[in-house]
Amino acid sequence: MQRTSPLTEFDSIKPILSELRIFGGVIDSQLVAILQKVELWILSTGDVVFHKGNEPMHIYIVKSGRIDLQLCENEVIIHKHELHVGECFGEASLMSMHKHTATAVAASDSEIIVLPKKALIELRHENVELFALLMMNIARELARRLYLTDELLLAATARKATPSCIP
C-alpha cells in the first residue's frame, strides 16, 4: 500500500533531479523551489501508481526501486518499459491532458518523487520563468521519445517491407 511522506532530505535527491533532462538549465535556487513542492511516495512491490484511464495528476521520478509501465487490454499485459532510478514518467499524460495510456506498478519496493499538477500550476503563478523552462524541457523530452518511437516503428516496418523507398 502506498504511503506518502514529506520530503525533507533534499540532499539525497538533488543529484537525481539535477541529472534529469526535464530539469536541464535549472539553477540551484530554482531546484530548491521545486523541491519544496514535491512529495515522496513509498511503494511496496505490486502497488499501483496509476491505472490506464486515470486522470494525470502528477509527474513521477523514481528515487529507488523499479516501476513497470504496463499496457493492459482484454486481460493481456504487455510490459512496455521498466523505469529505474532517475527516470521520469507521467509527464506525457499531464502535458497532453489525456488520461494515462498505461498502468504503472511498483516492480519492487520503491520510492518515487512526486510533483503534483497543483504545484506546477502554483509555479506558473510564482515563477513564470522557471515554469516556462520546465515546460520547454518536458516538451523537448517528449519530442526525443517521439523520435525514438518513430525510429522503432520505421525499423519494425522496414523488416517487413520490400525495398521501394527512393533515396
Question: pLDDT truncated to tens, each residue of the chain (167 aa)?
Answer: 567 766 667 777 778 877 788 888 888 888 888 888 889 999 999 999 999 999 999 999 999 999 999 987 777 777 788 999 988 999 988 888 889 999 999 999 999 999 999 999 999 999 999 999 999 999 998 888 888 778 877 887 877 755 555 55
Delineate the domains of the chain, giving CATH numbers in brackets. 3-157 (2.60.120.10)
Q: Of 89, 117, 86, 119, nearest to 12 (Cα)?
A: 86
How many C-alpha atoms does 30 have within 13 Å on its Cβ side?
18
pTM score, two decimals? 0.81
Q: Report the distance separating Cα 100 and Cα 122, nearest Å.
A: 23
Q: Report the distance separating Cα 113 and Cα 119, nearest Å.
A: 13
